[in-house]
Chain A
Amino acid sequence: MTQIMEDIIENLIDGQTKKVVALVEQAIAEGIAAKDILNKGLLAGMNEVGVLFKEGELFVPEVLVSAKAMNAGMEVIKPLLKEGDIQKSGTVLLATVKGDLHDIGVNLVAMMLEGAGYEVVNIGVDASPEKIVESVKKIQPDLIGMSAMLTTTMASMKDTITALEESGLSDKVKIMVGGSPVSKDYADKIGANYAGDATAAVELANELLGR
């Protein structure tokens, strides 16, 4: 690995957005292929971030800042990437279900998924089954994540799954659910997958999408 890639990785882990951007620009100037900058620099750095986070070396805010730095680097090389250079890791649609206004947890899940390289579309709180079905048609995600924090709104997860089935969308997307009253048992019962926190959500997404 060349020195400049090492520097990109190092600065990415340190969350040094400006330095990452400068280094990516320098790498382009040196004639390194955009694809290599992406894979051997930015993505390699984020992988390392993931490992350090799991080991407890890095904290959530650091991971998120590293993710920001990666995105800034991505912006620089995007125009230079050719079709097929980016392995699409997947699109995740997130929502807090109908009647529920809690979004702190699901926002955290969104940020961690983005940090892990997923494209995330968060359609926000109080999302009815109809709204979710519409969004799935439009966005065509690989995975849907639903959040509910109230015992009373959990039922809307089941309603949403039924609505997806009725629209013939249910075998086109994977479904995961979470939120403090939700349990693995409940998820099994409604035909969904469960993750207890944001880190587990990333692991679950990786598993469901075969990464």
Chain B
Amino acid sequence: MSRRKKQNPFPGGLVGGSYKPLKDGDVEKIHKATMKVFENTGIQVNDERALKAFHDAGAQVDFDQKMVKATEDWIMKTIKTAPESITLYGREDKHNMDLDGFKVYIGTGGTATNVLDIDTGKRRPSTMEDVQKAARLVDALENIHYFVISCFPNELEKENVDVNRFYGALRNTTKHVMGGVYTKEGVRNIAKYAEMIAGSKEALLEKPFVSFITCVMSPLVMDKDYTDLMLTAIETGLPLATPTAPMAGSTSPGTLAGTLVQMNAEALSGVLLTQIVNPGHPVLYSCVPTTSDLRTGAFCFGSIEMGMMNAACAQLSRFYRLPNYTTAGVNEAKIPDIQSGYESMATTMLCALAGSNYIHDAAGLLESGMSISYEQYVVDNDILGMCMRAVKGIEVNDETLATEVINDVGPAGNYLSHEHTVMNMNKEFFYNKVSDRNTRARWEIEGEIDAREKARRMAIEILKTHKPLFIDQHIEQKIIQEIPGMLSEWLD
């Protein structure tokens, strides 16, 4: 029969930008203040190679103090080589993402060390099985646009984590895979098997379906190990995010503007190093500004200020003509509940309306990123869909103004059976999957379940039925044989 496959009317890549938490003059003020920090305070770089690179490129380097200072002219000249937009690819082209302008894509985040078990609901240490299942779930959830590797496989030796985590993700979704890394060997081996999957190094770099995250530390430090990893990641040529996560009030000033200034210096440091070492390297202006709850000092990922600051990053990144990586949708709730719902929605919505290119952490995470939950991915799929709907905005034209239709139906008529309604019902409205919109009677018949239980059942069903496009058997065998530390058994 003619079942029309309804296509997603609110896909990734819609253009946001209507919410602007910073007034135009404010962006310039934050920029100027950041330049002052670079000139007067500087950043500490605890890696010899990086220090030398900054020096050779013309920054002022104090090798004894390991401090790098720089002028506005030098900074603006040096970041110029960074691409203004980047395409992150999926293993299937339908998942490619064009990070440009105010285009919006939203996805998951990591790296949690725990998971709420889907059967018992109890928190337990996460494993490789959870990495794979989370990837598979995300593969099936249409409003989650990419997969940042969700959790840490606690059962593995540290040196085997990188290759297996990335492979478990890549194998279970054809959406773009990005992840944090722990060892240099791991970074190199991931690049190596990614080349095998792509067919060649050239093919991989032309359509990179995998990318890395290496961090900058607040306040104002490029850490020894992470910078070493960053340099290794740059060598692979794959796209890179270099996020920094200041906490307003504890590791950055107790004002939003001050936190943005310091974060801007840190985010630009990552961009600067990539461009010095490899001009033109695909890098994201990467931001994780957070807050502290000053009643206790607790870290806050779900605060409203966090949403506002991350939204502001979209404006800052446009000022520097760089694509951005921002953070939203993660929360402090311990289980999927009312708190996880409103915190996730608030920050993700702000970033989406601001036109952030790559909003990460926005699905599946709970407990300030310490835990993932299968139900939460399904709930967030609804939240992300609502955000993308809002990004699309209200379309006003002769067809949507509908004066002829109003005339057709007239007073006391109804629009339910009008062609115009049928024509528009899929493109004008977002249909939540978790939200219960039935009558109370029907809700009672269906077992009086709440959103968490409904999402849990949906997650179980997806995991039972959804089969991703796996990696070619021959290539998989070759990878397992040639790459040290690879597991040989993978989820069917």
Q: Does B418 contact A (CB under 8 A)?
A: yes
Contact with B along A29-56 (1 / 0, CB 8 A): 0000000000000000000100010000
- Tell me, rounded to whole Å, the shortest Cβ–Cβ distance linking B437 to chain A: 11
User: Which of B2, B421, B425, B439 is in CB contact (< 8 Å) with A14?
Assistant: B2
Hey, which chain B residues are within 8 Å of A180, CB to CB?
A: 439
Contact of B417 among A57, A64, A104, A184 (CB under 8 A): A64
Within the complex, what minimum Cβ distance (angstroms) separates B405 from chain A? 12
The answer to whether residues A111 and B442 also contact, given A13-B1, A13-B2, A61-B421 and a CB cut-off of 8 A, is no
Least distance between B486 CB and chain A CB atoms (Å)? 42
Instruction: Name B's interface SS.
Output: loop
* A202 and B419 alpha carbons, distance in the complex (Å): 23
With A and B bound together, what is the CA distance between A94 and B22 in angstroms? 57
How many A-B pairs have beta carbons closer than 8 Å: the answer is 50
A64 and chain B: residue at smallest CB distance = B417
Measured between beta carbons, the chain B residues less than 8 angstroms from A104 are 414
Report the bound CA distance from A9 to B2 in whole Å: 9
> In the complex, what distance in Å separates the CA atom of A9 from the CA atom of B439?
31
Kindly provide the distance from the CB of A46 to the nearest chain B CB, expressed in whole angstroms. 13
Would A57 and B3 count as touching, CB distance under 8 A? yes
B392-426 contacts to A, CB under 8 A, are 414, 416-419, 421-422, 425
**In the assembly, what is the distance between CA of A200 and CA of B446, in Å?**
13
Query: Does residue B440 face the partner (Cβ distance < 8 Å to A)?
Result: yes
Q: Which of A108, A184, A194, A197 contacts B416 (CB 8 A)?
A: A108
B65 at interface, CB cutoff 8 A: no
Shortest Cβ distance from residue A196 to the other chain B in the assembled complex, whole angstroms: 3
Scoring B3, B416, B419, B440 by chain A CB atoms within 10 A of each residue's CB, the highest score goes to: B416
Q: Chain B's nearest CB lies how many Å from the CB of A79?
A: 25
Q: Does B438 contact A (CB under 8 A)?
A: yes
- Asked if residues A196 and B441 are in contact (CB atoms below 8 Å), the reply is yes
Chain A residues with CB under 8 Å of B4's CB are: 14
Q: Of the candidates B1, B3, B417, B422, which one forms a contact with A111 in the assembled complex, judged by CB atoms under 8 Å apart?
A: B417
- Per the CB 8 Å criterion, the residue count for chain B at the interface is 17
Residues 1 to 47 of chain B near chain A (Cβ within 8 Å): 1-4
CB distance from A124 to the nearest CB of B (A): 10
A108 to B439, CA, bound (A): 14
Interface residues of A in 112-126 (CB under 8 A from B): none
A25 at the interface (CB under 8 A from B): no
A68 / chain B contacts, CB cutoff of 8 Å: 417
Q: Which of B1, B2, B419 neighbours the largest number of chain A CB atoms within 10 Å of its CB?
A: B1
| Complex: A7 Cα to B259 Cα, angstroms | 65
Residues A64 and B442 in contact in the complex (CB < 8 Å), given A10-B1, A52-B3, A57-B3 = no
How far is B440's CA from A48's CA once the two chains are assembled, in angstroms? Answer: 28
Contact between B422 and A15 (Cβ–Cβ < 8 Å)? yes
Q: Which residue of A lies closest to B422 (CB)?
A: A61
| A 154-204 contacts with B by CB, 8 A | 180, 183-184, 194, 196-197, 200
Across-interface contacts of B438 in A (CB, < 8 A)? 197
**In the complex, A181→B421 CA distance in Å?**
29
Question: B421: which A residues are within 8 A, CB to CB?
Answer: 61
- Is A107 part of the binding interface, using a Cβ–Cβ cutoff of 8 Å? yes
A197 contacts B439, C-beta separation under 8 Å: yes
Given known A-B contacts A196-B439, A196-B442, A61 and B416 have beta carbons under 8 A apart: yes
**A142 CB-CB contact with B under 8 Å:** no
Task: List A contacts of B418 (CB < 8 A).
Answer: 61
CB distance from B433 to the nearest CB of A (A): 10
Chain A nearest Cβ from B83, distance in angstroms:
43
Q: How close is A69's CB to chain B, nearest CB, in angstroms? A: 11
Residues of B within 8 A of A111 (CB): 416-417
Given B3, B416, B439, B440, which contacts A64 in the complex, CB threshold below 8 Å? B416
Binary interface profile of B, 173-214, with partner A (CB < 8 Å = 1, else 0)? 000000000000000000000000000000000000000000
Binding site for A on B (CB under 8 A): 1-4, 414, 416-419, 421-422, 425, 438-442
- 23 A-B residue pairs with Cβ-Cβ distance under 8 Å, sorted by A, are A9-B1, A10-B1, A10-B2, A13-B2, A15-B422, A59-B422, A60-B416, A61-B417, A61-B425, A62-B422, A62-B425, A64-B416, A64-B417, A65-B417, A65-B419, A111-B416, A184-B441, A194-B441, A196-B439, A196-B440, A196-B441, A197-B442, A200-B441
Nearest 3 Cβ contacts at the A-B interface: A196-B441, A64-B417, A196-B439
A residues sitting closer than 8 Å to B (CB atoms) are 9-10, 13-15, 48, 52, 57, 59-62, 64-65, 67-68, 104, 107-108, 111, 180, 183-184, 194, 196-197, 200
Known: A180-B439, A197-B442. 19 other contacts (CB 8 A): A9-B1, A10-B1, A14-B2, A52-B3, A59-B422, A60-B416, A61-B421, A62-B425, A65-B417, A65-B419, A65-B422, A68-B417, A107-B414, A194-B441, A196-B440, A196-B442, A197-B441, A200-B441, A200-B442
